Amino acid sequence: MTATCDFLESLPSRGDDPVLHQLSGTIRFDLRDGNSVESWFLELDHGEVKVSHKKGKADCVASSERELFDAIASGRANAFAAALRGEIDLEGEAALLLEFQRLFPGPPGGRPEQRKASA
């Protein structure tokens, strides 16, 4: 399994996550790998999450290369920063992706230590 599969398939079991309780709507991730596209459809309803591979209409559609999404799902890349750089094509409610991105793992190894100003 890939980081993408592991992350997305784990969402329904994370119903107690406070971030999920704030989200309501649908997101479809279209992941390109060469000439093929795999779709992941998420239905978010205040803590309840359904994940499927349907290609239905969604409130937010995010399209990217599979490799980039694997990096996002493993914490090595930031979804919204990638969207701002044009690496993710967004349609619909981009604010939904902004809220959803808080569910993605942080960078491997945690946050870098804050630098202290020298006196």
Q: What local confidence, expressed as pLDDT, does residue 116 receive? A: 39
Contacts of 102 (CB under 8 A, 6+ apart): 19
Q: What local confidence, expressed as pLDDT, does residue 111 receive? A: 54
Which CATH superfamily groups domain 3-103? SCP2 sterol-binding domain (3.30.1050.10)
Residue 119 has pLDDT above 50, yes or no: no
Residue 103 has pLDDT above 80, yes or no: yes
pTM comes to 0.85
All structural domains of the chain with their residue ranges: 3-103
* Section 42-46 average pLDDT: 93
Please, which contacts does 30-38 make with residues 24 or more away whose CB atoms are closer than 8 Å? 30/55, 30/61, 30/62, 30/63, 30/64, 31/4, 31/63, 31/64, 31/65, 31/66, 31/69, 32/63, 32/64, 32/65, 32/66, 33/65, 33/66, 33/67, 37/63, 38/66
* Section 42-49 average pLDDT: 91
Supply the mean pLDDT for the chain.
Answer: 87
* Section 28-55 average pLDDT: 94
Residue 92 burial (CB count, 10 A): 17
Q: What local confidence, expressed as pLDDT, does residue 1 receive? A: 60
Q: What local confidence, expressed as pLDDT, does residue 117 receive? A: 41
**Each residue of 51-91: pLDDT tens digit?**
999 999 999 999 999 999 999 999 999 988 898 899 999 99
Q: What local confidence, expressed as pLDDT, does residue 47 receive? A: 86
Q: What local confidence, expressed as pLDDT, does residue 118 receive? A: 39
Question: Rounded to an integer, what is the distance from CA 13 to the centroid of its chain?
Answer: 16
Contacts of 83 (CB under 8 A, 6+ apart): 62, 90, 94, 97
